[in-house]
């Protein structure tokens, strides 16, 4: 195999090329995804196109996870029938937020994610780490699916969508309604769409660096 065709060399060259193309995001891009972005509670009726959801997934799945486990599973709730099912789980005050959003993503995780490691982590067999250690397996799944949910929110903003994450719902009801066959387990919900900013209120306070950070 020639040096140019070596997979590790190709991967390293790709990173070097990326760094040459872009050193950092500009300030407007950072404002869009985090600094000036807001959580939204009201929505316009502009739909989210299926190809946008595909593009969103294609970004999210590239985000790093522990041992490339990729435990998150996503259900994009769009239809009225699916929203009716989801409404059974949602606290009453959150139902309008969910119903008015063009899409509500159920960010879930698959307890059997580790069985896919032959595909996702092919250079070393890590399955024994999980097979006989359900507590470790669940901890890894929950942490990393939460991380992937955060990627989802940032990626959605990067694609021009607005987001509104929700935890005011019953995980048990979502799991019964949507995952009784697959065995997936819900983590949190995230509304996606194009927001009606008239529902916003002033941004809540945040900590200063010295309040919560140490440099040792």
pLDDT digits over 38-91, tens only?
999 999 999 999 999 999 999 999 999 999 999 999 999 999 999 999 999 999
Q: What is the mean pLDDT of residues 131-148?
A: 97
Q: What is the mean pLDDT of residues 208-214?
A: 98
Q: Is residue 32 included in any domain, yes or no?
A: no
Q: In what order do the strands lie in the sheet with 72-77?
A: 72-77, 103-109, 185-193, 162-166
Which CATH number does the domain housing residue 132 bear?
Answer: 3.40.109.10
Q: Is the pLDDT of residue 195 over 90?
A: yes
Q: Is residue 28 included in any domain, yes or no?
A: no
Q: Is residue 201 included in any domain, yes or no?
A: no
Spatial separation of the C-alpha atoms in residues 35 and 197, rounded to whole Å: 17
Q: Is residue 79 included in any domain, yes or no?
A: yes
* pLDDT for res 80: 97
Band of pLDDT at residue 101, cut at 50, 70 and 90: very high
**Overall number of domains in the chain:** 1
Would you call 68 helix, strand, or coil by DSSP? Answer: helix
Band of pLDDT at residue 1, cut at 50, 70 and 90: very low
* pLDDT for res 4: 53
Parent domain of 86: 42-193
Q: Is the pLDDT of residue 197 over 60?
A: yes
Q: Is residue 172 included in any domain, yes or no?
A: yes
Tell me what the pLDDT averaged over the chain comes to.
Answer: 96
Q: What is the mean pLDDT of residues 101-111?
A: 98
Band of pLDDT at residue 194, cut at 50, 70 and 90: very high
Q: Is residue 23 included in any domain, yes or no?
A: no
How does pLDDT run across 150-165, given as a tens digit for each residue?
999 999 999 999 999 9
Mark 159-179 as b/e (b = at least 16 C-beta within 10 Å).
eebbbbbbeebeeebbbebbb
Q: Is residue 210 included in any domain, yes or no?
A: no
Q: Is the pLDDT of residue 3 over 70?
A: no
Spatial separation of the C-alpha atoms in residues 109 and 145, rounded to whole Å: 6
* pLDDT for res 89: 98
Q: Is residue 151 included in any domain, yes or no?
A: yes
């Amino acid at each position: 195999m020639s040096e140019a065709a070596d997979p590790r060399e190709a991967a390293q060259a790709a990173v070097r090329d990326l760094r040459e193309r872009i050193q950092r995001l500009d300030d407007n891009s950072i404002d869009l995804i985090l600094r000036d972005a807001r959580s939204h509670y009201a929505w316009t009726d502009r739909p989210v196109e299926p190809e946008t959801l595909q593009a969103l997934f294609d970004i999210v799945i590239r985000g790093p996870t522990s041992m490339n486990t990729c435990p998150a599973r996503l259900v994009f709730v769009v239809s009225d029938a699916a929203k009716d099912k989801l409404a059974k789980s949602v606290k009453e005050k959150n139902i309008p937020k969910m119903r008015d959003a063009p899409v509500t993503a159920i960010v879930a995780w698959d307890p059997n994610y580790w069985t896919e490691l032959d595909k996702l982590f092919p250079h070393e067999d890590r399955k024994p780490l999980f097979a006989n250690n359900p507590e470790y397996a669940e901890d890894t799944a929950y942490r990393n699916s939460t991380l992937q949910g955060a990627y989802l929110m940032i990626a959605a903003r990067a694609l021009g969508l607005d987001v509104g994450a929700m935890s005011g719902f019953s995980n048990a009801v979502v799991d019964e309604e949507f995952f009784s066959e697959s065995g997936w387990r819900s983590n949190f919900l995230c509304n996606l769409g194009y927001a009606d900013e008239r529902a916003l209120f002033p941004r809540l306070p945040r900590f200063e660096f010295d309040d919560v950070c140490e440099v040792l």
